[in-house]
């Protein structure tokens, strides 16, 4: 099916290069990364060499000044190889935009070039043991003193937590307002906890972070003091869109490997795909996938025009991620006992899919946002 996104010949050439990167630099190594529970920093630098990191950053700060469709291509090609360890989209589409949008020029010159080259890996620390989607409940404190802040607290479930060099940290001031501070690797009192053991995303590092009287200079304050909550709300729509993009493409991959299997595997003297139940299930899933793709593409176009897509992005996120979870479960069923074996890609896809409806706002939070958009 033709896409409604306005891809040009340049976009297609970029897609071919991006596909080559993920086929040669990610796919062959993913199993090893899963065993190690982390990806090597070298792959980040290789991605930088290919021009795959922060492509839409302004050329003044090392980027290509590319449009958002280049980010879309990177997300889709990443998902096509089943990548769930190299969290390139978190770096490109979720965290770097905070720097591009809210940091001053001095900060951009200091941080962005290395983010583009892969020398610096980004993380964002919002979630705490007692505060997830409810950011107003966060407790990590920042006490202002002279030319710096003294930060104390704990963060958890932080993606890229082990690898990151720059961590945008949400902190609360004594007056209850929230700010974003850039905490840098090597700052005294900043410590990483263990690399958390998850049921899926085995190659991706997820960590606890500890802040013990960390002195963060005021020159690392992103934007205006006390405006952190507003900044976070402004960028969440894009975060949810890119997760929906990954969910749609991951679902497509699952359907593709399942189609291949049911066209070859036989039971009771005939191919599994010839049974009416199998045909109907696959037909339903294929239809739902294409309908999701069209709506998602529509919202991406609106997002690129600068329109407010908060509600629509929440719709995309909850529907696409729930679809991914449901379709992966249904497809695994067609593999029978083999689907439960980790040597089959469908098994890893099943485990990796489970987080999709939880992080970046749960399905329930998405529905709450949509409900408020309806005036309820």
**261-311 pLDDT tens trace:** 999 998 888 999 999 999 999 999 999 999 999 999 999 999 999 999 999
Answering whether pTM is above 0.75, one says yes
Q: Does residue 111 carry a pLDDT above 80?
A: yes
117-162 pLDDT tens trace:
999 999 999 999 987 767 778 999 999 999 999 999 999 999 999 9
**Alpha-carbon span 205 to 58, nearest angstrom:** 29
Percentage of residues in the chain having pLDDT higher than 90:
94
- Residue 1's pLDDT is what? 72
Q: How many CB atoms lie within 10 A of CB 216?
A: 22
Of the residues 25, 76, 77, 239, only one is catalytic, namely 239
239 is catalytic: yes
Query: Mean pLDDT for the chain?
Result: 96
- Residue 130's pLDDT is what? 80
Percentage of residues in the chain having pLDDT higher than 70:
100
CA distances from 353 to 66, 76, 90, 235, 323 (A): 30, 16, 16, 23, 10
Residues near 108 by beta carbon (within 8 Å), at least 6 away in sequence: 58, 60, 61, 99, 100
**Alpha-carbon span 51 to 45, nearest angstrom:** 10
Residues near 207 by beta carbon (within 8 Å), at least 6 away in sequence: 158, 161, 162, 192, 193, 194, 195, 196
Q: Does residue 97 carry a pLDDT above 80?
A: yes
- Residue 198's pLDDT is what? 97
């Amino acid at each position: 099916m033709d896409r409604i996104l306005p891809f040009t010949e340049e976009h297609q050439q970029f897609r071919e290069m991006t596909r080559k990167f993920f086929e040669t630099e990610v796919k062959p190594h993913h199993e090893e990364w899963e065993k190690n529970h982390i990806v090597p920093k070298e792959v980040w630098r290789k991605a930088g060499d290919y021009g795959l990191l922060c492509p839409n950053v302004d050329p003044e700060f090392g980027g290509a000044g590319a449009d958002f469709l280049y980010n879309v291509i990177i997300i889709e090609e990443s998902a096509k190889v089943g990548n769930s360890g190299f969290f390139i989209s978190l770096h490109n589409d979720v965290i770097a935009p905070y720097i591009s949008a809210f940091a001053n020029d001095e900060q951009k010159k200091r941080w962005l070039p290395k983010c583009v080259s892969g020398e610096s890996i980004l993380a964002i620390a919002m979630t705490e043991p007692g505060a997830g989607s409810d950011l107003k409940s966060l407790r990590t404190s920042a006490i202002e003193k002279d030319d710096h802040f003294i930060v104390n607290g704990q963060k958890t479930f932080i993606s890229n937590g082990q690898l990151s060099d720059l961590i945008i940290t949400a902190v609360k001031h004594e007056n209850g307002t929230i700010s974003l501070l850039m905490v840098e690797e090597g700052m005294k009192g900043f410590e990483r906890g263990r690399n958390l053991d998850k049921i899926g995303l085995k190659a991706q590092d997820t960590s606890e972070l500890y802040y013990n009287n960390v002195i963060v200079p005021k020159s690392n304050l992103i934007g205006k003091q006390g405006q952190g909550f507003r900044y976070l709300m402004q960028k969440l729509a894009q975060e949810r869109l890119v997760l929906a993009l990954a969910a749609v493409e991951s679902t497509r991959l699952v359907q593709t490997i399942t189609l291949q299997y049911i066209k070859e595997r036989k039971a009771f003297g005939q191919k599994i795909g010839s049974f009416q139940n199998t045909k109907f299930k696959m037909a339903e899933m294929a239809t739902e996938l294409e309908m999701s793709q069209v709506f998602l593409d529509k919202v991406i176009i609106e997002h690129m025009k600068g329109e407010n897509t908060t509600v629509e992005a929440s719709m995309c996120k909850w529907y696409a991620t729930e679809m991914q979870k449901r379709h992966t479960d249904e497809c695994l069923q067609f593999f029978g006992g083999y689907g439960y074996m980790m040597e089959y890609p469908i098994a890893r896809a099943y485990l990796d899919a489970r987080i999709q409806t939880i992080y970046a706002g749960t399905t329930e939070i998405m529905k709450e946002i949509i409900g408020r958009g309806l005036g309820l």
